[in-house]
Amino acid sequence: MIGLEIHVQLTEAGTKLFCGCKSNYRGLPANTNVCPVCLGQPGALPVPQEGPVVYAVAASLQLGCRLPPAVVFTRKHYFYPDLPKNYQITEYEGAHGAPVCLGGTFKYLDPAGWEWRSVRIRRINLEEDPGRSSYLRGGILGSPVVMVDYNRSGVPLLEIVTEPDLRGPRDARAMVEYLLLTLEYLGAVNPRLEGAFRVDANISVPGGERVEVKNIGSTLDVERAIRYELLRQGKIVEHGGRVERETRHWDSARGVTRPLRHKEEEEEYLYIPDPDLPPVPIGGALLAKARRLLALTPGEVLATLEEDGATREQAWSIASTPSIARLYLETRGHAADKRLLARLLGVDLKGALQRAGRDPYSPGSLPPPTTITRLVAMVEKGEIPYDTVKGLILPRLAVNPSASLEELLPEKARVDESLILEVLAAERGAVCDYLDGEEKALNYLVGRVIRRLGRRAVDPRRLRSLIARLIEERGASICGMEGRD
Ligand code: ADP
Ligand code: MG
Ligand code: ZN
């Protein structure tokens, strides 16, 4: 059996949970994102901040949870240099706290087999992240000093606890990836920021007790750590042993779990309701704000893409990159050929960005919707071959997303429609023949246009469909121009 505790920072909530310091402390000098509240100074009082509470409620709704009438905070006591108050504010139910999720069911997609599965959520706590300790050479046991940075102290953290419903290492990883994506769509978290989430995995085999593996920092490591632990426990059972209740530590560099402590060593936390914090009712304006964040979900984007005829690979590629998903939704209304658009954005633009070392997740890396709409229209009309878009234009847009198409189009691909119309007007007889149903007249016209365009002509197949379209649009008036030639 496998159950997870997933700790996700609300990196995009704006503020810390109980003070106005920033929720995203990355890149700031140590101990500059602090105030009396998150430093736990005597007399400082916590004030629940709207951003984190709204995002937590939205997350709870989006993960299929029942909401409590109010969230109630509790204190969890322990002593450690990175916890300046000597207690962490959380929502432990056992001490009359009320977590932001009272249980629910979360549906997620495993893109590998394109299978929707579900996992029960036991609860979600909204709590404070502690500060950050670091050690010199020798690590926690050998270092002569401990350095503490409180920039992270008080950052809002969701602790999402699942029932032991997960079916294996790969399934657990797929669930965490889809869960993070879902929270990213809400705008609550940027899961690619260093330290934005940590996972503890609980694993047991038949006849044994559960082992909790702490310190898993990536979704790949969720899979690796569980796989390792299942093997380790399986071997104990094979040799006639019994797996005892234990907490272990995941060592990502070595790919192994190591013993941390046994059950009997686990601390008592002296949980009490926090007397500084009245319950925060979940309703009214707060609930309305949370609901407004649910506008866009990966599931809806996937469904739209599938309806539009995208392949599953393209659909997942787009939906798993929220910035590109938004671009797709903004441009699909203008594209007659939506499969072409899905391929352009999900495969070739994303690939070009990755090859250029640009971040496809950052909206600033992407060309504006008008550029994409025009490109797709040009391909649809036969004005430019798709190979040129893929091989030439997208790689240039990846480096310079705000470049205009005029700058990017190669001479060869740019076909001046007015030149073609001039040729058609001069070849009125052939245009009339074509309109009368004589297919061969089109070959003749293509030849004339190529002669006129010279070496800069586009590929003849594209040119042929472009000329056919122009005759469809203008042929009748050209043919009707009596006495002009
Ligand atoms: P605690 O409150 O002591 O941390 P819980 O019973 O709440 O323990 O469970 C914590 C996590 O362990 C949950 O994610 C749950 O799904 C998981 N879990 C519980 N029992 C088992 C088990 N027998 N095997 C694997 N995981 C388990
Ligand atoms: Mg726990
Ligand atoms: Zn602060």
Secondary structure string (H, E, C) spanning the chain: CEEEEEEEECCCCCECCCCCCECCCCCCCCCCCCCCCCCCCCCCCCCCCHHHHHHHHHHHHHCCECCCCEEECEEEECCCCCCCCCEEEECCHHHCCECCECCEEEEEEECCCCEEEEEEEEEEEEEECCCEEEECCCHHHHCCCEEEEHHHCCCEEEEEEECCCECCHHHHHHHHHHHHHHHHHHCCCCCCCCCCEEEEEEECCCCCCCEEEEEECCHHHHHHHHHHHHHHHHHHHHCCCCCCCEEEEEECCCCEEEEEEEHHHCCCCCCEECCCCCCEECCHHHHHHHHHHHHCCHHHHHHHHHHCCCCHHHHHHHHCCHHHHHHHHHHHHHCCCHHHHHHHHHHHHHHHHHHCCCCCCCHHHCCCHHHHHHHHHHHHCCCCCHHHHHHHHHHHHHHCCCCCHHHHCCHHHCCCHHHHHHHHHHCHHHHHHHHCCCCHHHHHHHHHHHHHHHHHCCCHHHHHHHHHHHHHHHHHHHHCCCCCC
Give the pLDDT of residue 128.
97
Residue 450 banded pLDDT, cuts 50, 70, 90? confident
Ligand 1, residues 101, 161, 214: which to mutate, most atoms within 8 A of Cβ? 161
4-40 pLDDT, tens digit each? 999 999 999 999 999 999 999 999 999 999 999 999 9
Residue 327 shares a structural domain with residue 471: no
Is a pLDDT exceeding 80 seen at residue 483? no
* Least confident interval from 77-81, 126-130, 230-234: 77-81
Question: Ligand 1 atom 14: the closest Cα is on which residue?
Answer: 3
Give the pLDDT of residue 472.
87
Q: Give the Cα separation of 18 and 433 in Å (integer).
A: 79
Expressed in angstroms and rounded, the spacing between residue 46 Cα and the centre of ligand 3 is: 9
Residue 474 banded pLDDT, cuts 50, 70, 90? confident
Give the pLDDT of residue 484.
44
Give the pLDDT of residue 267.
67
Residue 236 shares a structural domain with residue 363: no
Distances (CA, A) of 37 to 56, 128, 332: 21, 12, 48
Say which residue, 475 or 221, is predicted with more confidence.
221
- Residue entry with tokens 């310079």: 400
Mean pLDDT across 250-258: 95
Query: Does 123 contact ligand 1 (Cβ within 6 A)?
Result: no
pTM here?
0.86
* Least confident interval from 75-84, 129-138, 201-210, 444-453: 444-453
Q: Give the Cα separation of 464 and 467 in Å (integer).
A: 5
Question: In this structure, which ligand is nearest to the CA of 122?
Answer: 1
Q: Which of 362, 385, 408 is the last residue of a domain?
A: 408
Give the number of domains in the chain: 3
Give the phi and the psi of residue 38 in degrees, each rounded to 5. Answer: -80, -5
Is a pLDDT exceeding 60 seen at residue 346? yes
* Least confident interval from 185-189, 219-223, 467-471: 467-471
- Mean pLDDT, the chain, integer: 93
- At position 185, the amino acid (one-letter code) is Y
Express as a percent the part of the chain with pLDDT over 90: 79
Expressed in angstroms and rounded, the spacing between residue 284 Cα and the centre of ligand 3 is: 27
- 282 Cβ partners below 8 Å, 6+ apart? 57, 67, 68, 69, 70, 71, 100
Is a pLDDT exceeding 50 seen at residue 230? yes
Residue 124 lies in a domain: yes
Q: With beta carbons less than 8 A apart as the criterion, state whether 132 and 28 touch.
A: no
Q: Which of 408, 438, 460 is the last residue of a domain?
A: 408
Residue 301 lies in a domain: yes
Expressed in angstroms and rounded, the spacing between residue 133 Cα and the centre of ligand 1 is: 27
Ligand 1: which atom is nearest the Cα of residue 202? 26
Residue 216 shares a structural domain with residue 328: no
Give the pLDDT of residue 451.
83
158-203 pLDDT, tens digit each? 999 999 999 999 999 999 999 999 999 999 999 999 999 999 999 9
Mean pLDDT across 214-236: 97
- At position 455, the amino acid (one-letter code) is R
Question: Highest mean pLDDT range out of 137-141, 207-211, 453-457?
Answer: 207-211
Residue 483 lies in a domain: no
356-390 pLDDT, tens digit each? 999 999 999 999 999 999 999 999 988 888 998 99
Residue 390 shares a structural domain with residue 454: no
Domain hosting 455: range is 417-478
Q: Which of 244, 276, 291 is the last residue of a domain?
A: 291
Ligand 1: which atom is nearest the Cα of residue 162? 14
Expressed in angstroms and rounded, the spacing between residue 15 Cα and the centre of ligand 3 is: 8
Mean pLDDT across 425-453: 89
Which residues on adjacent β-strands are paired with residue 71?
Answer: 280
Query: Does 247 contact ligand 1 (Cβ within 6 A)?
Result: no
Expressed in angstroms and rounded, the spacing between residue 109 Cα and the centre of ligand 2 is: 26
Is a pLDDT exceeding 70 seen at residue 70? yes
Residue 106 lies in a domain: yes
Residue 77 shares a structural domain with residue 219: yes
Question: In this structure, which ligand is nearest to the CA of 5?
Answer: 1
Residue 7 lies in a domain: yes
Is a pLDDT exceeding 90 seen at residue 411? no
Residue 246 shares a structural domain with residue 317: no
Give the pLDDT of residue 264.
59
Query: Does 204 contact ligand 1 (Cβ within 6 A)?
Result: yes
Expressed in angstroms and rounded, the spacing between residue 25 Cα and the centre of ligand 2 is: 25
Is a pLDDT exceeding 60 seen at residue 412? no
Q: Give the Cα separation of 321 and 313 in Å (integer).
A: 13
Ligand 1: which atom is nearest the Cα of residue 4? 14
Ligand 1: which atom is nearest the Cα of residue 212? 12
Residue 422 shares a structural domain with residue 285: no
Residue 382 shares a structural domain with residue 242: no
Residue 485 lies in a domain: no
Residue 484 lies in a domain: no
Residue 301 shares a structural domain with residue 262: no
Which residues on adjacent β-strands are paired with residue 101?
Answer: 124
Residue 265 shares a structural domain with residue 337: no
Residue 363 lies in a domain: yes
Give the pLDDT of residue 462.
74
Question: Ligand 1 atom 13: the closest Cα is on which residue?
Answer: 3
Question: Ligand 1 atom 2: the closest Cα is on which residue?
Answer: 161
Mean pLDDT across 244-266: 86
Residue 126 shares a structural domain with residue 269: yes
Expressed in angstroms and rounded, the spacing between residue 362 Cα and the centre of ligand 3 is: 28
Structure tokens at 330: 């903004």
Give the pLDDT of residue 383.
84
Residue 86 shares a structural domain with residue 170: yes
* Least confident interval from 98-102, 223-227, 448-452: 448-452
